[in-house]
Amino acid sequence: MKTIILCVLVALAPLIGNAQENYSEEYGKVTQYEISMTEYAADPEAEAVVIYDIGTNYFQGDDNRGFLLHMEKKTKIKVLKAAGTEYAKIEIPFYTDNRNGESVIDIEATIYNLDNGKPTKSFLDPKKIFEEKINDDVSVKKIALPDVREGSVIEFKYHIVTPFFFHMRKWDFQQKIPVIHSQLIYKAIPYYEYTYIVRGTKKFDEFDSVTKNHDIRFGSLLYQEKIYTFGMKNLPAFRDEEFISAEEDYMVSINFQISKIYFAQGGNQNYISTWPALCDDFLKRDDFGKYIKNSEKEGKKLLPTLDLANKSQLDQAIEISQYVKTMFKWDEVNSKFAADNLSGFLKSKSGNAANINLYLIGLLKAANITVNPLVLSTRNHGAVSKSHPFQQFLNYVIAQVEIDGKTYFIDATEPLRYFDELPIRCTNVEALVVKPKTEEWIVTTQKEISRTSKAFKINVMPELQTLDVNIQYTLSGQDAYQFRNIYDGKDDNLVNYFKKNNNVNISDSLTITNYKEMDKPFSFSFQSNTGFEKASDKLFIHPFCNLSVSDNMFKQESRTLPIDLIYLRNVDYKSEIEIPEGYKVEYLPKELKHDSRLMSINYSAKKVDNKIEVTAGYFFNTNLYDAKDYVRLKYSYAEIIKQFTDMIVLAKE
């Protein structure tokens, strides 16, 4: 990010407000308390705190462009720790258009500091605000304030003007740092009606609506504003970031969606719809329903060239989905609508998720396989509010196949996944089945358990203080996908992965099995040499060679939200250790067997002839847990780490 130059001025008493006032929401005024505070009493661990975050949205007439939507925002943040300086990086996204885009104006930023006991303030140089194009539709203003440090107070404001009345920004009351006061004021006019959707709270700390007793004239129009105020106070930092689908599903926010326009000449236009009507609309669109029909026509010509003869419908569906995965490349853009027409997609062999999956649906229809499009919101896009039928809540499409009474969910964007193995982004979400004049929802469950089995054959060489180890991984489900993705056809990728993540050196004999056979477990094995502890003629052997779990995945002290692991997980270990000549077993870890409604854990170590055999494993009994289970899960996982990293001790006879 480019540096922003600041003009620094030393200010005296006028900079500091009345010390008896803790906080000020007057822009340009900072209190003695704000400048001198070193921690936020309600959350002493907070690296920063939002003192105020205030927005005002209103409409204003423009003689050339009609009504324009104005969105003003002003914010003050106190930096309490060095990590809090990250909040000095301000980004303002906006929509661009060659003729009639949005504009971001009146950007100001000030940083307040104490230097040698004297207050100073630094002003942003407007010439040093930088703009970056994200894509054809979106750009972003970037502001980084380099004079921010521990103890700084940051204050900034900006103003967005847009002709797009449907682009009223979502307002986030809650953030990842505490918020003392967040308020949104919306000045409604009688020509635009909005529905608002609130998440994260059932009640606002501040709510008011009042009609302003003042007429506003724009051209021949005479109208009054109705002013709505929404506010929240003393919101805690949002820290339940692990194991959730989307943060915005739980953080306090308000989102406005245009529902109706009233025309000055009379009449109106509805923007709010019903889910059945949206399904009908999807099926009529060139980039959805007609795209599927064109793909079906193309499929009638293509399918005779594929090896489908004498195959069951299930095998045909597998063959067709594998063809699409192999022949077409996903551009990593999520979409429910095709970006390119079918001929362009077939020529480029590349497209967004809708290009690929709608084409797949068309081919399956051509094979007389029962299939429907499913439109959904990906996990990081947020849950769909089913009581508000807005198509912008949906950002992805997959195929739902019915064969012999069984349902299969298929996504063809990732070639390293098997037939009906969904990417995480669209797993365990509610999806709308797109059929004419119907509303039907279904959850995209992931059926296969993700399994990892690790097998070790260890030869102990006391003289060299080295273990010569053969290690084999066998993986299925999500774990197989992750390691196929890491491997990517290159041995060095696995070599570097194990060196970086586990400090394990692959010395020889790397063998890969079933890299491209997605219907089979992915397996690889290799030789590794590693050292071990030796003291007073005793050898301390780790039976799993630094490849057991060593970091607790449950890091929070407590939990208020459900725990979503997405998929079922099963990990098994088996180790066979040759006892070197002249040594005996002095210590074996205790046996452990634990079965509860949350998870199962097992560990066994025993001497068999001149070998030690160790078996261990753990299994999560579900992929979704209540918040009250968090502490117990954390404790159980800590027990796994302790038990699975315990050393075997050999001593000289």
Residue 132, both tokens = 């970056």
Phi, psi of 242, rounded to the nearest 5 degrees:
-85, 145
**Residue 447 reports pLDDT greater than 90:** no
Residue 249 lies in a domain: no
Residue 256 lies in a domain: no
Q: Is the pTM of this model over 0.75?
A: yes
The answer to whether residues 231 and 182 touch, using CB atoms and an 8 Å cutoff, is yes
Distances (CA, A) of 436 to 277, 278, 279, 282, 392: 8, 9, 6, 9, 19
Q: How many separate domains does the chain show?
A: 3
Q: Which of 443, 476, 498 is the last residue of a domain?
A: 443
Report the C-alpha gap between 432 and 386 in whole angstroms. Answer: 10
Residue 270 lies in a domain: no
Residue 260 lies in a domain: no
User: Side chain identity at 232, as an amino acid letter?
Assistant: M
Assess whether 296 and 367 both reside in one domain: yes
Concatenating the DSSP letter of every residue in 79-111 gives E-SGGGGGGGEEEEEEE--TTT--EEEEEEEEE
Q: Pick the closest to residue 601 from 581, 622, 619 (CA basis).
A: 619
Assess whether 306 and 344 both reside in one domain: yes
Rounded to an integer, the average pLDDT of 328-356 is 96
Report the C-alpha gap between 292 and 363 in whole angstroms. Answer: 8
Assess whether 319 and 396 both reside in one domain: yes
**Residue 1 reports pLDDT greater than 50:** no
Assess whether 409 and 455 both reside in one domain: no
Domain containing 75: what range?
6-191+202-240
Residue 18 lies in a domain: yes
**Residue 7 reports pLDDT greater than 50:** no
Which range is least confidently modeled, 210-214, 420-424, 496-500, 620-624?
Answer: 210-214
**Residue 21 reports pLDDT greater than 60:** yes
Percentage of the chain beyond pLDDT 90 is 79
Task: Output helix, strand, coil percentages for the chain, rounded to the nearest 5.
Answer: 20, 40, 40
**Residue 264 reports pLDDT greater than 90:** no
The domain that holds 565 is classified in CATH as 2.60.120.1130
Provide the angle, in degrees to the nearest 10, between the axes of the packed helices 491-502 and 477-487: 110
Q: Which of 443, 466, 500 is the last residue of a domain?
A: 443
Rounded to an integer, the average pLDDT of 456-478 is 96
Residue 264 lies in a domain: no
Assess whether 545 and 436 both reside in one domain: no
- Facing residues of 526 across strands? 471
pLDDT of residue 14: 39
Which range is least confidently modeled, 175-179, 248-252, 327-331?
Answer: 248-252
Instruction: Label residue 9 by pLDDT band (50, 70, 90).
Output: very low
**Residue 47 reports pLDDT greater than 50:** yes
Q: What is the mean pLDDT of the chain?
A: 92
pLDDT of residue 98: 63
Chain Cα centroid distance, residue 75:
26
Report the C-alpha gap between 536 and 332 in whole angstroms. Answer: 57
pLDDT of residue 397: 98
The answer to whether residues 66 and 95 touch, using CB atoms and an 8 Å cutoff, is no
Assess whether 644 and 561 both reside in one domain: yes
Assess whether 412 and 521 both reside in one domain: no
**Residue 509 reports pLDDT greater than 90:** no
Instruction: Label residue 339 by pLDDT band (50, 70, 90).
Output: very high
The answer to whether residues 532 and 541 touch, using CB atoms and an 8 Å cutoff, is yes
Q: Is 28 helix (H, G, I), strand (E, B) or coil?
A: coil
Residue 643, both tokens = 């038990």
Residue 7, both tokens = 């003009």
- Facing residues of 195 across strands? 257
The answer to whether residues 174 and 234 touch, using CB atoms and an 8 Å cutoff, is no
The answer to whether residues 479 and 416 touch, using CB atoms and an 8 Å cutoff, is no
User: Rounded to a whole number, what is the largest CA-CA distance in the chain?
Assistant: 104
Assess whether 439 and 456 both reside in one domain: no
The domain that holds 213 is classified in CATH as 2.60.40.3140
**Residue 466 reports pLDDT greater than 90:** yes
Q: Which of 414, 443, 472 is the last residue of a domain?
A: 443
pLDDT of residue 240: 73
Assess whether 582 and 616 both reside in one domain: yes
Q: Which secondary structure element, helix H or strand E, spans residue 7, and what is its range?
A: strand 6-10
The domain that holds 351 is classified in CATH as 3.10.620.30
The answer to whether residues 515 and 484 touch, using CB atoms and an 8 Å cutoff, is yes
- Dump strand ranges (E) for 335-405: 350-351, 370-376, 396-403
pLDDT of residue 20: 39
**Residue 266 reports pLDDT greater than 90:** no
Give the Cα-Cα-Cα angle 533, 587, 459 (nearest 5 degrees). 55
Assess whether 486 and 416 both reside in one domain: no
Between the CA atoms of 231, 234, 235 and 239, what dihedral angle is there, to the nearest 10 degrees? Answer: 160
Burial code (b: 16+ CB inside 10 Å, e: under 16) for 24-63 equals beeeebbbbbbbebeebeebeebbbbbbbbbbbbbbeeee
The answer to whether residues 104 and 138 touch, using CB atoms and an 8 Å cutoff, is no
Residue 382 lies in a domain: yes
The answer to whether residues 38 and 80 touch, using CB atoms and an 8 Å cutoff, is yes
Report the C-alpha gap between 647 and 540 in whole angstroms. Answer: 6
Chain Cα centroid distance, residue 497:
23
- Facing residues of 179 across strands? 50, 235
Residue 211, both tokens = 């009609």
Report the C-alpha gap between 330 and 351 in whole angstroms. Answer: 5
pLDDT tens, 521-572?
999 999 999 999 999 889 999 999 989 999 999 998 888 899 999 999 999 9
Instruction: Label residue 330 by pLDDT band (50, 70, 90).
Output: very high
Percentage of the chain beyond pLDDT 70 is 96
**Residue 18 reports pLDDT greater than 70:** no
Residue 573 lies in a domain: yes
Rounded to an integer, the average pLDDT of 403-409 is 96
Report the C-alpha gap between 398 and 443 in whole angstroms. Answer: 12
Assess whether 343 and 431 both reside in one domain: yes
Residue 227, both tokens = 């002013």
Report the C-alpha gap between 99 and 96 in whole angstroms. Answer: 9
Assess whether 528 and 646 both reside in one domain: yes
